[in-house]
Amino acid sequence: MNKTKYFAPHSYAVIIGTGVANQETGYFETTVTIPEADTGEHYLSIEDSETNVIIKIYSESSFVKTSTGISILASCSSTIVGFQVAINGSLLDYYGNGLADETVVLSYAFSGSSAWTPLTSGQTDSNGRYSAVWIPPATGYFIIRAEWAGNATHFGSNNSTAINSITFDGEYVFSVESNSTITELFFNSTDRTLSFNANGDNGTQGYAKIIIAKTLVTDVESMKVYLDGSQVEYTLLSNGDSWCLIINYAHSTNQIVLDLNVNVIPEFPSYLILAIFVTTALFALIIEKKLLHPKSKKT
């Protein structure tokens, strides 16, 4: 049995690996991880019952960088007036600890474009969370990316999410935020359905978060979601003047259809409302006169 030990000058040795040599050739192979160490000379001792070989190594750094992960979520408002996107997420290290006071840069790109345009940046709080509000130049399909450059002790990381949005009736906005590629987003005002395709790599999980104005929904409990023709469950959240539906699925080429039971209340011009009011008043006056002054019958 061969043992591999690590020790710094003036310190005790620590066993960090073992291996069994080939009985015929004496050859052995092992992989070891050196503990965190100060900059300077350090030593590896490879030994068995008869031999002890010491290898000197030099550490350029006193630490090993830790990997990180960054999350990103986005949610659109459901009306054209004041249309904006709320963005939030967290920056965590490998162990799930939030990284505080770090700058997260947010950028966006339109469909078919490889150029990223910075939109804003934000500082993480004590729990590693960040947030921002973005007013897009228009509705449509775009990708939002969150990126952290890293520092002396942690590797950088980035993540992205896609948003597809369309307008309806000159006032409302339907939007879908997802880690899938969302295409063919369409609202059919005749049968009151919202449909789109969600594509992603096979073997991975996808989600879609759909934002709908509350004023468009007759009965929120009657909304149905269909995934490739089969009805599926969804999570429903209330967010101010909007409903948020979240569905999860296995990635492939999926078609998602929402039966929204949309109730569109037509808006009448003020002059038409006044004309209706005057007509109703005159009609009531005529009825009243007939009741108070009935015509006498001729004999």
pLDDT beneath 70: ranges in the chain: 1-22, 25-28, 31-40, 42, 44, 48-63, 81, 218, 261-299
The pLDDT value recorded for residue 277 is: 56
Do 74 and 53 lie in one domain? The reply is: no
CATH number for the domain that contains residue 141: 2.60.40.10
pLDDT digits (tens, 9 = 90+) for 278-297: 566 566 566 666 655 555 55
Report the predicted TM-score, pTM, of the whole model to 2 decimal places. Answer: 0.60
158 found inside a domain: yes
**Pairwise CA distance, residues 14 & 16, whole Å:** 6
Domain-located, residue 230: yes
Residues 168 and 126 in one domain: yes
Q: Which residues contact 122 (CB under 8 A, 6 or more apart)?
A: 103, 104, 106, 130, 131, 132
Nearest to 158 by CA among 75, 91, 88: 91
Residue 144 and residue 90 share a domain: yes
**Beta carbons within 10 angstroms of residue 260's beta carbon:** 25
Residues 253, 201 share a domain: yes
As a whole number of angstroms, the distance between CA 100 and CA 97 comes to: 9
CA-closest candidate to residue 48, choices 67, 22, 75, 71:
22
pLDDT at 70: 95
Predicted pLDDT at 292: 58
Confidence (pLDDT) at 264: 44
Q: Is residue 276 part of a domain?
A: no
Residue 232 is predicted with a pLDDT of 92
Whether residue 267 is contained in a domain is answered as no
User: Strand pairing of 193-199 and 253-259?
Assistant: antiparallel
Q: How many domains does the chain have?
A: 2
Task: Let me know whether 117 and 24 are in one domain.
Answer: no
Domain that holds residue 152: 68-259
Q: Please write the tens of the pLDDT for every residue from 211-252.
A: 888 888 867 788 889 999 999 999 999 888 888 899 999 998
- Radius of gyration in angstroms for the set of CA atoms belonging to the chain, rounded to a whole number: 33
Q: Are residues 89 and 221 in the same domain?
A: yes
Say yes or no: 30 and 106 in one domain.
no
